[in-house]
Amino acid sequence: MDLLTVVPGGDWARIIFVFCHVIFCAFAVTTVLKADYKILSSDLSPEDVAKDAKLISKLLAGLWVSGLAIIYVDTGFSPDIVMLKAKLVLKLACVFLLTANGVILHHVSLPVLTRLNQKVSHSELVLLSVTGALSTSHWLLAAFIGLFTPLGNLPVSTLLQAYGLLISGILFLSLTLVPVINHIKSKEMARIKKDNLVSKCRLMIELERSQ
């Protein structure tokens, strides 16, 4: 039996878009989790932060393109059809917030995180914690929504209410992590001061030997 006759042409397009979407999502979530681990272990340099942020931005753009292609195949971008798909509405809400938070994270939070040898204010610590928590949680949530088909059987209002409660919980949890972020930044500053002191000592020793 010919495979092309089993799967219609329109379905082939959707399969390709979904496959690309899954690949982008897998790479993005992996990159985000690796970056979070390095940050929490104080093992992420400013160069690594810039590299990861650039890669994640490209993957997010790929997810938007492939995701919109899937939505077009399924709905033709008809608002009435979109609103009938509860899971899709929830996914769009999640991705819109993820993208908006990503813009703030990229242009405001990451420069604070990579600011070397400078004290961070309490408001900046809160910003780092909140944007970081929203980013990680929403990458995982977006992947979960895509995989968990039964969500589509629930009313849109129920899903959005649950989503609102989830965001509230994430924000509350992120505030409890502010001391952790402060400890990471303090540890980073101490390491930088130690490295600078060691460099100065080595320079002085070399100068003395050269005289």
Give residue 206's pLDDT band: very low, low, confident or very high (50, 70, 90).
low
Number of domains in the chain: 1
Convert the pLDDT of each residue in 157-195 to its tens digit. Answer: 999 999 999 999 999 999 998 888 877 777 666 665 555
Range(s) of the domain holding residue 11: 3-210
Handedness of CA 14, 20, 23, 27 (dihedral sign): negative
How many whole angstroms separate alpha carbon 182 and alpha carbon 119? 10
Convert the pLDDT of each residue in 33-91 to its tens digit. Answer: 999 888 877 776 778 888 999 999 999 999 999 999 999 999 999 999 999 999 999 99
Q: pTM for this structure?
A: 0.84
Predicted pLDDT of residue 44:
67
SS3 78: coil
**Among 110, 128, 146, 140, residue whose Cα is nearest residue 29:** 140
Predicted pLDDT of residue 179:
87
pLDDT above 60: residue 22: yes
